[in-house]
Amino acid sequence: MRAVLWDLDGTLADSREFHWCAWRETMRTAGVEITESQFQASFGQRNDTILTNWLGGAATPDRIREIGDAKEARYRRFIEDEGVTPLPGAAEWVRKLQGERWRQAIASSAPRLNVEVMTRVLGFSSAMAALVGAEDVARGKPEPDVFLVAAAKLGVPPDRCVVVEDADAGIEAARRAGMRCVGVGGANLASADVAVRSLMDLADDAFDRLIGGTRAR
């Protein structure tokens, strides 16, 4: 009864460039130019939040849905056509945990179709017992919903789950869910139970120690 709940973008893989290209092309088609700095500021947010900020008074529910769906379709085409590779250490850890009979899930703010495509292209489908996307929760991170739903799908209590995240909002969501957290890659991950630049830097027993209640180093 132990589980690892993986964030997706920035943790298992980096598809930021695909997101940027998809947003830029989609917004241009909609008659709105966005800058890369605007995109960077929005990264990790839900589409309804992003488009409300970018469209202002033109952000009707129908318009948000139309543009959001078009962007995600473009993004998935990029992933399918060009492929994406796991970040350093990601594939090794997923396989190691699978071999040690940890239950694993992807818990992401991305649309479910994106999560499904990314998981398949990365080659992680057989290792993941559950996939949770934006449609599965009412509130995004830093609210804990996405991780609590993933834990429930796996049948594992929150205090037996370890979250792997690359963003402050995700780490806060893990804390609110009552779960331990590994922070990866970012510069401001001090609130994680253990923070590393890369998954390759994690100690071999890092997840076991976190479930055991020890703050890993």
Q: How far is CA 204 from the centre of its chain?
A: 23
Question: CA-to-CA distance for 95 and 53, rounded, in angstroms?
Answer: 40
Query: Of 7, 166, 168, 193, which residue is the catalytic one?
Result: 7
Question: CA-to-CA distance for 215 and 207, rounded, in angstroms?
Answer: 10
DSSP 8-state assignment for residue 138? S
Query: Of 9, 166, 168, 193, which residue is the catalytic one?
Result: 9
Please report which residue ranges of the chain form alpha helices under DSSP H: 16-29, 36-42, 47-55, 61-82, 90-99, 112-122, 145-154, 168-176, 206-211
Active-site residue, 9 included: yes
Question: CA-to-CA distance for 183 and 124, rounded, in angstroms?
Answer: 20
The two tokens of residue 110 are: 């991305």
Question: CA-to-CA distance for 122 and 29, rounded, in angstroms?
Answer: 30
**Alpha-carbon distance values, 146 to 31, 54, 143 (Å):** 33, 25, 8
Active-site residue, 159 included: no
> Hey, CA dihedral for 129, 132, 135, 138, is it positive or negative?
positive
Amino acid at 88: P
Provide the annotated active-site residues. 7, 9
